[in-house]
Structures are given as C-alpha cells and as structure tokens.
Structure 1
Amino acid sequence: MTEDERRAIEQDCERLIKHYVNLNDAQDWPAVAALYAEDARFARPSQPGVFIEGREAILSSFLARPGRAQRHVIANTVVDVEDADHARAFSVIVLYMGDAADDGGLPVQGPKSPLIGTFTDKLVRTRDGWRFAERVGGLDFRP
C-alpha cells in the first residue's frame, strides 16, 4: 500500500466517524445504523461491556431511546490502517445533553452534561464504503 492510499483510507475512516456524530445529533437513526456493517457490534459509552449485535438490533436500540437535545464533539481521532479493507480508530468524545426549553428556545443543559469519553472502533470496507464493524464507547469521568 502506498502512502497516498493509506492517507486516503485514514481520511475516509475519519469522515465516517464525523458523519456518524452529525447523524447521531440529528437523531437520524436509520442513517446512523446504515454506517454499521450488517454483523457489527456496538457498546454504548455508558455500558462498554454490553454489546448490541447486528445492524438491525443497533437500529432498534436507537429507536427505543427517548429523544433529547444533544450535541457530540469528537476530537483526537487517530486512524490506524491495518490493510486495504481494515482499520482501527480511537477518538475522544464530549456529549452535551439537555431538555427542550418550555418556551421553545434553546434547550436547557442537563445536570449530567457534559459527558467525556472515548470510542474505539474497528472499521471495515464494504461494497457500500467504510463501515463500523465494532464501536465500543467508554466514559472517562462519572457524571
């Protein structure tokens, strides 16, 4: 693999991670789930040892959550390319959460906000592009 090919994979994978965060904040759950491989595994930062297995189950888990005002900030992303079809990534995440304001204005930030943690990802190239094969979250501080 050339340096240009490696850098292209890194960029594609980092874009996937950033796209995921934007779709998550928009609460576009079908689009979020579509970024996972069919047989992917996902563990939320609040439950890093509890895996949800398969794209459909991941979608169902997002659909079952009550809506909330939220904004994720992702940073310090490093992608390590294993080969032309596999990569790993590590990112730091900050999650701001809140409730809708009674007056229809800006949401009110919740008392457990922000949450600070990480995502460790296994990424795979599919016929549809790069997707998450495994996404494991973790928290760095208790709320």
Structure 2
Amino acid sequence: MKNKDRRAAEADCARLIALYANLNDEARWEEVAALYAHDGVMFRPTAPDAGVVGREAILAAFKARPARVTRHVCSNVVIDVESDDTAHGTSAMLLFTGEAAPLVGSFHDRFVRTADGWRFAERRGSLLFT
C-alpha cells in the first residue's frame, strides 16, 4: 500500500470514530447503525461482554435506550492499517451525560472497507473509571 493510500485510510477511519460520537450525541440512530458493516458487532462500554451483531440489531439497541443528553469526547486516536481493506484502531473516550460523573473509557475498533467506504467491523468499548 502506498503511503498516501495508508494515510487516507487512517484519516477515513479516524473520521468514522468522530462521526460516530457526533451522531450518537445527536440521537441519529439510523446513521450511527449505518457506520457498521452489515454484520458488524458493537460492544458497549457499559456492557463489554454483550455483543450486538448486525446493523438491524445495533439500530434496535440504540432505539431501545432511554432518551438522554450526551457528549462524547474522543481523543488519542491511533489507526493501524493492516491491508487495503482492513484496519484496527484505539481511542480514548470521555462521556458526559449531565446526570452523573463523567465516564472514562476506550474503544478498540476493527474496520473493514466496504462498497460504501470504511465501516466498523467491530467496536469494543470499555470503561476505565466512572
């Protein structure tokens, strides 16, 4: 892979992380679910052992949650491109809900390039402190 292609893939995957946070905070669930591959898997930071598999199930999981106001802050994003069609990455996450103390955690992501561009193959959240 050429350096410019690697940098483009890194930027696309990093943008996916930021877009996910923004859409999540805006409760735009259909668009959040569309950031996953059709068979993607989501592990919420609050339920790290309970994977939700597939876009439809991910969408249903988001729609089932109680309404709340949130602000996700993601940083320390590092993307490693493995091939033309796969990458993985990590990021730090700070979640403000306005109802409780902030949650601090991280995401470990696997990305796959699809016909629609880069998508999450797996998004695994974890909490470090609450």
Q: Which amino acid aligns with 1:91?
A: S
How far residue 35 of structure 1 moved from its aligned partner, in angstroms, is 0.3
For residues 36-115 of structure 1, what are the structure 2 equivalents within 5 Å? Answer: 36-98=36-98, 110-111=99-100, 113-115=101-103
Percent identity of paired positions between Structure 1 and Structure 2: 53
Instruction: Show the counterpart of 2:111.
Output: 123
How many residues were matched structurally? Answer: 130
Q: Distance in 1 between matches of 2:13 and 2:2?
A: 17
Q: Distance in 2 between matches of 1:30 and 1:4?
A: 31
Secondary structure at 1:89's aligned position in 2? strand
Secondary structure at 2:11's aligned position in 1? helix
Q: Which amino acid aligns with 2:90?
A: F
Q: Distance in 1 between matches of 2:73 and 2:83?
A: 28
How far residue 30 of structure 1 moved from its aligned partner, in angstroms, is 0.3
How far residue 2 of structure 1 moved from its aligned partner, in angstroms, is 1.0
How far residue 14 of structure 1 moved from its aligned partner, in angstroms, is 0.3
Give the RMSD, CA atoms, in angstroms: 0.7
Q: Distance in 2 between matches of 1:130 and 1:5?
A: 13
TM-score with structure 2 length normalisation?
Answer: 0.98
How far residue 132 of structure 1 moved from its aligned partner, in angstroms, is 0.3
Q: Distance in 2 between matches of 1:24 and 1:119?
A: 14
Q: Distance in 2 between matches of 1:15 and 1:65?
A: 25
Deviations for 1:43-70, whole angstroms, at most 9, x for unmatched residues?
Answer: 1001111100111000000000011011
Deviations for 1:58-90, whole angstroms, at most 9, x for unmatched residues?
Answer: 000000001101100000000000001000010
Query: Where in structure 1 are there 5+ consecutive unaligned residues?
Result: 99-109
TM-score with structure 1 length normalisation?
Answer: 0.89
